[in-house]
Amino acid sequence: MHIPRIYTATPLSLQQNLSLSIQASRHITSVLRLKIGAHIILFDGQGGQYRAHIVQLDKKITVETTGFEDHSCESPLKIHLAQVISKGERMDYTLQKSVELGVSSIQPLFSRRSVVKLKGSRLEKRQKHWQEVIISACEQCGRNHLPELKPTLNLEQWLQQSQTGATHPHLILDPQASEALSQREQYPEQTLLIGPEGGLSKEEIQLAQQHNFEGVCIGPRILRTETAALVALTVLQAHWGDL
């Protein structure tokens, strides 16, 4: 029998009674329709997971932890995905599947050809939404560590910061590159930059290369931005990770 997995921002311990968030409580009662005594799995994003059961149904459900499991399905390959923001559900899809494919951190970016324009409260709201997408993906795929979602930056600003203390390869997907991603030398950590729907401009690619980014390609066809990210992550995990 499948046991639901629920994330909580509250640090967990054994024999602990705690109230779940309103959102998690609503999901348990309205979607899963669980009752008092039902078993769930809790995780706080710091590693491992806790067995728990429901002790009280209310607007905020109360649960009690009863056991700890040192379970991990993290990839041995540490991948930092720098993704120029795509439109609507495409960005959600990229985030969700990237988490399932074991990405370690996600850096949303704006570039010259970005279709999405966000700032102020709208950007804060979208950043919060993306965090919820990441949490939901972790609940679904069994990960007990939350990938880090970094604050959104402009591409130029991020490039200035990205090489500070960098000791691992920085790669940029470029359809004109001569080297295939699958032919790269093995490294335990990688940073991968993916452009928007219209691609990165020639000037942006050159700027990235000036900051020691190496161009790689993933085949003869031009892929959509959400497809490119997932194909690239799959190649990395298949060659050097855990796929």
Per residue, what are the HEC states of 214-225?
Answer: EEEECCCCCCCH
Confidence of residue 165 (pLDDT cuts 50, 70, 90): low
Q: What is the pLDDT of residues 16-73, one digit of tens each?
A: 999 999 989 998 999 989 999 999 999 999 999 999 999 999 888 999 999 999 999 9
Residues 133, 156: Cα–Cα separation, whole Å: 26
Q: Where exactly are the structural domains of the chain?
A: 5-69, 78-240
For residue 102, give both structure tokens: 């074991």
Report, as an integer, the average pLDDT of 183-194.
89
5-69 matches 78-240 in fold: no
Topology, domain 78-240: Alpha/beta knot (3.40.1280)
Find the angle CA(20)-CA(149)-CA(97) to the nearest 5 degrees. Answer: 85
Q: What is the CATH number of domain 5-69?
A: 2.40.240.20
> What residues contact 126, with CB distance under 8 A and at least 6 apart?
118
Measured CA angle at 212 (ends 208, 213), to 5 deg: 55
Phi/psi for 133 (5° steps) reads -65, -45
Residue pair 234/226 in contact (Cβ under 8 Å)? The answer is no
Task: Express each pLDDT in 58-96 by its tens digit.
Answer: 888 999 999 999 999 999 999 999 999 988 789 999 999
Q: What is the pTM of this model?
A: 0.91
